[in-house]
Amino acid sequence: MTPPFADELRLLSVLLQYPDDDLLCRLDDIAAAVDRLPPGEIRAAGAAFLDYLDAHAPIRLQENFTTAFDMSPATTLNLTYHMFGDTEKRAAAMARLQRLYDEAGWERITGELPDYLPLLLEFLAIHPRPQTAAPVWECLRAATSLVAALEKTAPAYAALLRPLARAAAEIAGMDDGRTSGPV
């Protein structure tokens, strides 16, 4: 499998943002971006997720997002937590990510930690090749655990992330089938 392309990575990054007024006011533009993607799993997952956004009131979407990602460490969007928990290894992994960003001349504009999934996707949209962004792809392997944890509590987010988790696992050479499922 080839890595997802920049537009696909940017789309996933946007759709994983908190569904505030800014995001929800841009849904027509986001839908147009989904339509421009090449046919494939990420385009289908993006279209299905837009249906989910369209079917719920903003307050419900915000409650669902908070419940999905802020209430349990098992579903945090900070991926090194899935790999190492709160350990020194996690701190070292985040330092390695920040060093990669610095070496690439890429500046984080949010206050999120370097392992925040939407941030990782934004970086990969610029540096998608596994050879140059190996620490990021390595970190994305944890998306497999995140998808599994979201299956019961936030299936719309699990379906959105499943193609990315599958790609990251394949790129890392460790697809163990845990990401398999209908998309």
pLDDT tens string 62-105: 999 999 999 999 999 999 999 999 999 999 999 999 999 998 88
pLDDT value of residue 139: 87
Give the pLDDT score at 134.
Answer: 79
Q: Which domains does the chain have, with CATH numbers?
A: 5-173 (1.10.3480)
12 closest CA partner among 47, 39, 52: 47
Which of these, 158, 143, 103, lies nearest to 126 by C-alpha position?
103
Q: Please give the C-alpha separations between residue 177 and each of 74, 121, 160, in angstroms, as whole numbers.
A: 20, 22, 17
pLDDT value at residue 127: 79
pLDDT higher at 11 or 106: 11
pLDDT confidence of 136, banded at 50, 70, 90? Answer: confident
Residue 14 has pLDDT above 60, yes or no: yes
Give pLDDT tens digits for 28-59: 999 999 999 999 999 999 999 999 999 999 99
Strand ranges for 11-161 from DSSP E: none
- The set of long-range contacts for 88-94, using a CB threshold of 8 Å and a minimum separation of 24, is 90/115, 93/135, 93/139
Task: Report which DSSP code applies to 56.
Answer: S
153 — phi, psi (to 5°)?
A: -95, -30
> Rounded distance, CA 118 to CA 183, Å?
20
